Structure 1
Amino acid sequence: MTVHTNPPSRWFDLLPPARLTRQLLLTLPVIAMACAPAARLTPPSADASAEEVALSGASVLIGAGDIGRCEATGDELTAAIIDSVLAADSVAGVVHAVFTTGDNAYPSGTAAQFTLCFGTSWGDTTRSIMKWIRPAAGNHEYQTAGASAYFAYFGDRAGEPGKGYYAYDIGEWRAIVLNTETLPLSAVDPEGVPDQGAWLRAELKANPKKCTVAYFHRPLWASGTHG
């Protein structure tokens, strides 16, 4: 992620905390979804193996951010871990999804970098990741005008082209993906399409799920310089 000298707009003021009952920004851990029906087993521990998580019957949301670097191998290692979890889930019939929290292809989110850097690890067609992926955009995607390569690469998995925010169901949860790179959220586009803030309020109001998780690129708080 790029360090900005000017603080970003307070996009998080538009996130109603009472409705966003679970707001998580995660780097790689498997999440055992806790809002399952009472008949389900107790979610597994944080250090449980992929097989133990799958056998527990809990829905799984797994992923990371800051991913595709052609000069590094960490993305290939995390891809292997995620693929093993998806394989175990599939055998057990567990609902799952893969998230990203942005900066999917370094350094500039170009079409070539998505193909050569992301596509050889997480995007490898011999893996199951792309079948279940639900990405979020980061600032490096927008180093290519309008994050056009990002939207072209992920297609409808990334929501409506040009917006980058969307929602989907996973088990007993509603997952909301926000685009923190289009600041401020209160801006209305020239064609009068509802802005992200208005969309989020409407989404939360209409959401029948008891539990909601949101993920996005820019953290609310951080121990480093990016919060």
Structure 2
Amino acid sequence: MNSKMWMLGFLLFCSSGMAQSASSTSTVLAAGDIGMCNLKAPFWTGDLMRDQLQKDPLAVVLALGDLAYPVGSSSDFQNCYDPAWGSFKDRTHPAPGNHEYGTANAAPYFQYFREKAARGYYSMAFNNWKVISLNSNLKGEAMQAQLNWLRSDLESSSSKCTLAFWHHPLVSSGYHGNNSVMQEAWNILQEKHADLVLVGHDHHYERFAPLNSSGAPDPEGIRQFIVGTGGAVLYRTLFVKAGSEKRVNGQFGVLKLNLQDDQYTWQFLAAHPRIKGKVLDSGSARCYPK
């Protein structure tokens, strides 16, 4: 083989490797606590989402509950959520919040998202990542059915990395504080070496070190992000909990995750028009070996 042919082969190999590397990255944009009528903030975060989605045609949105205030009615979805976030509904994967259940059985939520909402919990595959939406509003037999499904779904998964999202945080330094409703789900996820949990409910941004299901820092636990900054009135943080690594108050915004082959990066992006896209928190971490 002459030198020109060798060089051509080398360049083709590099080009192929770069393409594979690029294709193994998925962009996820997430926020909850969104559609509060008469506020500009849902439109700010919606505009930020559209900017990010235009940059990456394969990016998806995770909506972390409390999407349409005050009671998740059909008119709340029509008037308070849809004008701000409805334009990218086809790229949005939702989880319900407690305000959706302000209307019986969260019926308008399921009607609005239809097959996207599934039965209230579902999973997807993004390259080497499994992404799971759960419903933190269930109780009794309904919650047990969800937990049984979760265990079965994880046992059948061959994904290198796992992200789960729902509404109520296990641990929070915010107004609502800690919530144990998803403790058993957390146990199952940790047993299967999940990497990330995204939640809302408290209206601030907070990043935690990996936690176990008791809410204590644990190097073999799961990292939690609270992103209750999608458009509803913001809350202060109160008593800072163990494992809290970063808190942002007073800024609406969106969490941007780049899910790579065996690792991830994060950025919390400000949504206010004066500083739209400003990075307020960032970092990276590897997935747990499976």
Q: TM-score, normalised by structure 2?
A: 0.52
State the 1:170 CA deviation.
Answer: 1.8
Contact 1:96 1:170 in 2 (8 A): no
Residue 102 of structure 1 corresponds to: 65
- Aligned-pair distance for 1:108? 0.4
Q: Match for residue 48 of structure 1?
A: none
Q: Distance in 2 between matches of 1:171 and 1:157?
A: 19
Equivalent pairs counted in the alignment come to: 160
Segments of 5+ residues of structure 2 without an aligned counterpart are 1-17, 179-290
Which runs of structure 1 show a deviation greater than 6 angstroms over 4 or more consecutive aligned residues?
none
Aligned residue for 2:84, secondary structure, equals coil
Tell me the CA shift for residue 58 of structure 1: 2.7
Q: In the alignment, which of 169, 174, 188 is matched to residue 130 of structure 2?
A: 174
| Equivalent-residue separation in structure 2 for 1:181 and 1:145 (angstroms) | 12
Distance 2:34 2:24 in 1: 28
- Cα 1:210–1:159, aligned 2, differ >3 Å: closer, same or farther? same
The answer to whether residue 98 in structure 2 is matched with residue 130 in structure 1 is no
Task: Tell me which protein shows more strand as a share of its residues.
Answer: 2
Deviation per residue, 1:26-52 (Å, 9 max, x gap): xxxxxxxxxxx9x627xxxxxxxxxxx
User: Contact conserved, 2:24 with 2:128, CA < 8 A, in 1?
Assistant: no
What's the offset of the Cα at 1:188? 4.9
Distance in 1 between residues matched to 2:72 and 2:177, nearest whole Å: 19
Identity across the alignment (%): 36
> Where in structure 1 are there 5+ consecutive unaligned residues?
1-36, 42-55
How far apart are residue 169 of structure 1 and its match? 1.4
1:218/1:226 contact within 8 Å kept? no
Matched, 1:40 2:40: no
Query: Residue in 1 aligned with 2:111?
Result: 152
Paired with 2:83 and 2:52, the residues of 1 have a C-alpha distance of: 19
Query: What is the DSSP-based 3-state SS (H/G/I as helix, E as strand, rest coil) of the residue aligned with 2:56?
Result: helix
Q: Distance in 1 between matches of 2:127 and 2:54?
A: 18
Deviation at 1:222, TM superposition (A): 0.4
1:96 CA displacement: 2.0
1:195 paired with 2:195, answer no
State the match for 1:207 in structure 2. Answer: 157
**3-state SS of paired residue (1:118):** helix
8 Å CA contact retained: 1:103, 1:140: yes
- Please say which structure displays the higher CA radius of gyration: 2
SS across alignment from 1:153 = helix
For normalisation by structure 1, the TM-score amounts to 0.66
* Aligned residue type for 1:60: T
Write the distance in 1 (CA, Å) between the matches of 2:76 and 2:165: 23
